[in-house]
Structure 1
Amino acid sequence: MPEPKIDDDTSEKLKQDLRQHRDLLIAANAEIEKLRERLGKCSTTILETVMLEQSQGEELAFLRARVTELEAITAKSKEQSAAAEKVYAAMRGAMDRMHDGIKKVASQAKDSAPPSLAKELAELEKAATAPMPDDLERLIGPDR
């Protein structure tokens, strides 16, 4: 089959069309490269986001475990505080009964006891009715 004859005008037109197509292909290739770069950046960003979410999930699990531990410590502390309050109340009651007993004995012995014993009983009564020292009060709790 014989090759078709192309005149100069047609040849020039085809060359111009080829240049335009080549320029369009170069521009399209440049756009494709830009899109690849953006896709790479997006992939990196997505990977960083996934890794950050995973890290935050691990941190959240760690913090939840610490909160659970603190809740257990707080519950135990509340139990111990309640037990300490019961002990304090019992101690306060015993001290009050002891003070009442000392006052009663001291008042009964004032008239009949020898002067040296009366003096000791007065000192004992004074000590029994004295307020608790501040540092002891802070340690075992205030009067209720």
Structure 2
Amino acid sequence: MMEVHFELNKTAVTVYCEVQRRLLPMLREDFGLVGAKPGCEIGRCGACMVWLDGEPVNSCLVMAWQLEGRSVTTIEATAVDPASTPVRDALARCGAVQCGYCSAGMVMTMTYLHTRIPRPDAAEAGELMCGNLCRCTGYGGLSRAVAELF
């Protein structure tokens, strides 16, 4: 067992866990934050996307020992963040959401793009978005929303 101190959605937390514990189940089981979804469990689908020190990461790949002294932001924190409003609005306007399973990861990635890379070129946007898979929409609405934002 180890003790890990980190910031979760701007609140200092301490967790006692096994070294090999991953962030995704920790968020869901220990903190009740279920916005990040288990999808592939190997970092390919983006359903579990969070920000680690402000950068998008797949929480299914982050180990407990990697969290010490760091900052984690989940989709739950962005609900009150005005920076995510344009992203959510664009997704809704463009019909980019169906079942909603991938939505949290999409919002996290697109908000990162929208706030930190003001004018990404198509290659940058495509590279960052390629880590978010959607099995329902066929990407038409998602592509329109990305194009509308940038």
Quick check: which has more Rg, 1 or 2? Answer: 1
Relative contact order: is structure 1 or structure 2 higher (C-alpha 8 Å, sep ≥ 6)? 2
Identify the TM-score tier after normalising by the shorter chain. Answer: under 0.3
Superposition TM-score, scaled by structure 2 size: 0.18
Q: Which has the higher helix share?
A: 1
